[in-house]
Structures are given as structure tokens and as C-alpha cells.
Structure 1
Amino acid sequence: MTAPVHSAGRWCLASWRSVRLGYQRLHQTQASGRETHFGFQTVSEEEKGERVYHVFESVAKNYDVMNDSMSLGIHRLWKDWLIRHMKPTPGTQLLDVAGGTGDVSFRFINYIRAQREKLYRDKLDSQETLSWSDISKSYSNKDQGSLMGSHAVICDINKEMLKVGKEKSLQLGYSEGLSWVAGDAEELPFADEKFDVYTIAFGIRNVTHIDKALEEAHRVLKPGGRFLCLEFSQVTNPLLARLYDLYSFQVIPVLGQVIAGDWKSYQYLVESIRRFPPQEEFKEMIEDAGFFKVTYHNLTSGVVSVHSGFKL
């Protein structure tokens, strides 16, 4: 009787990862039967892609207004936290997937500009004998400069979202350091090892094959590059979780109807959050894609979380 027990214990210790990978492959095999989820519905993979595209095509013009309304503006703080956690340095090449209307990339540009301003002020402070004309001339030259080589590529599969983002960038005065590319997160139109940082905010739960999107993120990052994902997650506080569910299902679709004239799209968005893997499970998926030092931070008691990983 002792041998089977010892064998089982050794198998449990050595094979847990294989079992998990086997489960994921089984799930993928089921998906290869061309069925997946769209919110709480079961649909074909092709139909999900089309439906998700139409959802964001429908909400694009009111996307920013709805984000403010649904989150009471807190989404702005979450995105600010993401950039502070990233801590991009001058010269950073960012790929912002599902970047839509540009919120993350605009914040990235602002952060780099603030860094450049600090470096410039530090340089002036170190020179004690500058005249007013010297300072004025230096500022004139500074304004002609770039973002010290930093650049953000906003990639989104939805052309309407990109259109809205481009218009927004012009209105806000972002004239440099940005590119807009139509592309699928599961098949990115970029060369291997091109970017320093990959971000995806509130987008990965909408792709048909999350594992493929993660593999593509790993492919396009340089060695040492960083993956960052901001996404709705599993609320850790039981009381808040109940209130959050009530708000999500009873209020958000109503807001969608009142503000955007679109109940169904926001009903899907609420349902898609509930179908997304919880924090630990998503962490394991990121590790399986080849990333190391994978961690996550819960924000607002897990209403959203930021997952981070490195390509080593």
C-alpha cells in the first residue's frame, strides 16, 4: 500500500503543471470546434469576432463618456496608476494593443514629457551663470525637440475606435510620438522583438483566444521587455462584490441605453467581465505564454487588476 501512495504524491508534485496545461489544451480543443462565449451566450468563434467588432463600432463615439459614467471617472486613476507602474524611460517604444481612443498612450506621452522637462530643469539648475537670453534660447531649442526617441504605437482591430482616437489626439494637441495601426491582437502586424513595453487595457477579455494574444505579446517584445495588462477582475471584498454585481447588471446597461442608445453592447461588456479568468488563473496563462516574474496588483479591491510580466 505504501508504493501507490508514494507514487501518487510524487505524481501530484511533478505533474500539476502538466495537468493544468492539459486542461487548457482540452479547453482549446473544445474551442477549435468553433464554439466560444460571447458574454453569457455560446456562439461560434467567427460570430464572436464579428459581434465584438460591432459592439465597439457601436460604442466608439460614446466610449470615453461611457467610461467616465460607468466608473464615476475612476478609470482615469487606474490608467494613471498603470503608467506610474510602468515607469517608462526616454526612448521607450510602446505598443498599446486595443488602444482604441488613446488614453494609455496619451498618458505615456505625458509621462515622457514630464521626464524630459525634469531633465531639462535639472540641467539648467546645474549651470549657475546662465543669463535670461541663454535660458530663453534653451527653451526655444527644447520646444523643437522630440520625445527623446520615445514612441507609442496604438493598435486596435476596430477602425472606428482608431478614427475616434485620432480625432481626439488632434483635439488634445498630440502631434508627435504616436502611430495608429489597424491590427488583430491575435496576429499582430509587427516584427519580432520590436517593442520595449506592451500594454493592453480593458481589451484582452474581448479576444477570442487569449492564449494567442499573450503569445503575440511575447513575440513582439524585445528581450527584457515588459507586458502590462489592465483588466476588470474578481472583486476580493464580498460586500463590494455584491454591490458591484448589482450596479453592473442593473445600472450599466441602463446608462448605455440613456447615453449611447445601446443597451445590448453594455450588457455584453458586463457579462464579458464575469467570463474573464480570475487573477491567479490569468497569471498562470501569462506564465504559460513564456513570461517571467509575473505579478498582479488589485486596484479598487479587485474591480480591476494590473498584471505584469517580463520577457527574459
Structure 2
Amino acid sequence: MNVQAPRILLRRQLLGGVKRRASREPYRCFSCSVRDAQQQTPPPKSPQHAQGTTHFGFETVAEALKEQKVGAVFSSVASSYDAMNDFMSLGIHRLWKDHFVRNLNPGRNPLTSSSSDQGWNILDIAGGTGDIAFRMLDYASTINNDAHTKVTVADINPDMLAEGRKRALSTPYARSPRLKFVEANAETLDMIPDSSIDLYTVAFGIRNFTHKGTALREAYRVLKPGGVFACLEFSKVNNPLFDAFYKRWSFGAIPLIGQVVAGDRDSYQYLVESIERFPSQTEFRDMIQDAGLLVPGQGWEDLTGGIAAIHKGVKPT
């Protein structure tokens, strides 16, 4: 029996069962021209959407509907999450995540350059599959000899959390108090006390939030003074020729692979559109600052020519 069928049916119902729009036709194959890709541009971004509406990829939808649509997408791709990121990054996302964790150095006391006696309290948002959480705990334990750092994985999607709990069974943390999974919306983290988190991470998730500014302000609230916000997200390629190749790959190949491999073209089409709609490095840095966080240096580190970027912010002491 095809266990994916109910999820695919639900996704199609939430997406309205609408046939592919004609405007997406230029991206159906690898041979599409860069000129055609450039003609397929999203509506101009505005700091404020019309009241009650937001974007879902290149579509404008009611804010209340976006959460359902995004939920349908991630329920559909939960079991193939690593494969999805492999397609979108040519497999390099694994190296990015390793670099992200090394850069944050979980479990290390920044004042003494030694292992923290109490460990860190880490909140990993939109991390349902545990991809970042497992890396954080492994790094703290093996590199910093820290047996106390703990990670709470929060995700709005129960299917992603179920995948993470299943994966955790093959790690040392399956029944450990150092790892916890909770279903939560990043915009309303009511279960997390004020000023209680040492490190807030979000990897390849924030572009799907309906109100990114609200989520950033929640990050500010839950962080301790001196606590760090760290985000790994797809971003804007900074070389025009490389960008043209990357767009051809993204819009031409990824939805096609989604259709062939997962029988789900629409979800993968949304995911590449969501990358295109995400703010530039400068714009997102400004959003982090607007939430009250202090941005070190220029505020971000480009990875692989800007395909992805790491953003940081620190809560003032």
C-alpha cells in the first residue's frame, strides 16, 4: 500500500487541486533559457503585504492559508527531507551544516575557552528531523567534552517531528534528557520562558514562516542576554553568471526531480520559489537588527557563492 497517498491527496486538496500555472512553463526542463528564467520573476517585494495576505512561493494567499499550505508541503517531503536538500544544494548542504555547527562551537564557554560546566540550552527551530540537533549534541560531546548541553527541537509540523523522533532512535540521545521534541509555532513560543536560551538556531526553515519579523522578536525574547541567534538559509548568489546557472538548475531540474523521484512536483516547485522570495543578505540582516539583536561584522557569511548564508545576532547584555 502506498503510505504516501493520503499525504499527497491532502496536499493537493490544500493546494486547491489547481493545474500548474502557465507562468511556470519556462522551468519545465533543463534546456530552458536563462532569458526565460529571468522573465519569471516574483512580484516586487514590499516591507508590508496587503492586509491579511502573504506569499506562498510566487502566489499571493491569505495569511491563514499559508500555514496550511506550507504544512502540506513538509508533510509530503518529511520522509525525503535529506534528499530534498541534496537536490537543492547538490549535496553540499551537509557540509554547510557541519560548518554551521563548528562555527557555533556548542558547549564551549566563551569566557574561559573551556567546556561549560552547565552546558548550553539550545533551541532548534523548524528542525523537526533532528539534522542540526544531532550535530550540536555530537559536537558538544566529542569536541568539547560536554555532557550537559541540551537541545529542544521545535517544529510546527508533526510529520517532520515524527521523522526526527524516528531518526533519534539510531543516536545516543533517543531517551536522553538532552534531547526533546516539541510541536510549536516559531511566532508564538509560549512554552519557552523569557531569557532562557543560550543559542537559537534555525536552518533552512525561516523562509517558510508567515511573519518572519514576529519570529525574530520571539527569538529575542527567549534568548538570554548575550545569547546568540544563528540562521542557516538559502540566500542570493553574488555572481551573475553563477546565479544564471543556479536558477536554471533550481527552476528547471528540481521540480522535475521531485516529480520523477517523489511524484510531487508542486511541493518542490514551491520550495525553489520560496528561496527566490527570501530577502537578500542585507535585507535579512536589517530584519535581525530591527528585532533588537546586535549584528557582528557585516552580519552574515556567504557559503558557496551565496547559495546559502549564515546570519547571526546577539541579544544585548
User: What band does the TM-score fall into relative to the shorter chain?
Assistant: 0.7 to 0.9
| Counterpart for residue 305 of structure 2 | 301
Tell me the SS of whatever aligns to 1:301.
helix
For 1:305 and 1:293, the matched residues in 2 are separated by 14
Q: What amino acid maps onto 2:131 in structure 1? A: D
Alignment: residue pair count:
257
Q: Verify: 1:93 aligned to 2:128, yes or no.
A: no
- Identity over aligned residues, as a percent? 51
For 1:68 and 1:174, the matched residues in 2 are separated by 25
For 1:248 and 1:286, the matched residues in 2 are separated by 27
Shift of 1:154: 0.3
Q: What amino acid maps onto 1:293 in structure 2? A: V
Q: How does 1:85-234 map to 2 (within 5 A)?
A: 85-89=103-107, 90=116, 91-117=119-145, 147-175=146-174, 176=176, 177-188=178-189, 189-234=191-236
Q: What amino acid maps onto 1:72 in structure 2? A: L
For 2:47 and 2:247, the matched residues in 1 are separated by 27
Runs of 4+ in 1 over 2 A off after TM superposition: 68-72, 171-176
Deviations 1:64-106 (A, max 9, x none): 2222233232100010111111111240111000002111111
Deviations 1:29-57 (A, max 9, x none): x44x1111100001100111110011101
For 1:46 and 1:81, the matched residues in 2 are separated by 36
| Counterpart for residue 20 of structure 2 | none
Q: What amino acid maps onto 2:139 in structure 1? A: Y
Q: Larger deviation: 33-42 or 107-116?
A: 107-116
| Counterpart for residue 62 of structure 2 | 44
Instruction: Tell me if the contact between 1:195 and 1:225 (Cα under 8 Å) persists in the aligned partners.
Output: yes
Q: What amino acid maps onto 1:280 in structure 2? A: T
| Counterpart for residue 253 of structure 2 | 251
Instruction: Tell me if the contact between 2:285 and 2:295 (Cα under 8 Å) persists in the aligned partners.
Output: no
Instruction: Tell me if the contact between 2:204 and 2:233 (Cα under 8 Å) persists in the aligned partners.
Output: yes
Shift of 1:171: 2.3
Q: Verify: 1:73 aligned to 2:91, yes or no.
A: yes
Q: What amino acid maps onto 1:108 in structure 2? A: M
CA separation of 1:173 and 1:259: change in aligned 2, threshold 3 A: farther
Instruction: Tell me if the contact between 1:224 and 1:311 (Cα under 8 Å) persists in the aligned partners.
Output: yes
Q: What amino acid maps onto 1:148 in structure 2? A: A
Higher helix share: 1
Deviations 1:202-249 (A, max 9, x none): 111100011001000111100000000000100001111000000000
Tell me the SS of whatever aligns to 1:283.
helix
Instruction: Tell me if the contact between 1:70 and 1:255 (Cα under 8 Å) persists in the aligned partners.
Output: no
Shift of 1:116: 4.6
Instruction: Tell me if the contact between 2:288 and 2:295 (Cα under 8 Å) persists in the aligned partners.
Output: no
Tell me the SS of whatever aligns to 1:180.
strand
Tell me the SS of whatever aligns to 1:185.
coil
Q: Which runs of 5+ in 1 are unaligned?
A: 1-23, 118-146
For 1:164 and 1:264, the matched residues in 2 are separated by 21
For 1:51 and 1:293, the matched residues in 2 are separated by 32
Q: What amino acid maps onto 1:65 in structure 2? A: A
For 1:70 and 1:282, the matched residues in 2 are separated by 21
Coordinate RMSD, CA, aligned: 1.5
For 2:149 and 2:255, the matched residues in 1 are separated by 39
Shift of 1:62: 1.1
Shift of 1:279: 0.3
TM-score by length of 2: 0.78
Q: What amino acid maps onto 1:109 in structure 2? A: L
For 2:54 and 2:159, the matched residues in 1 are separated by 25
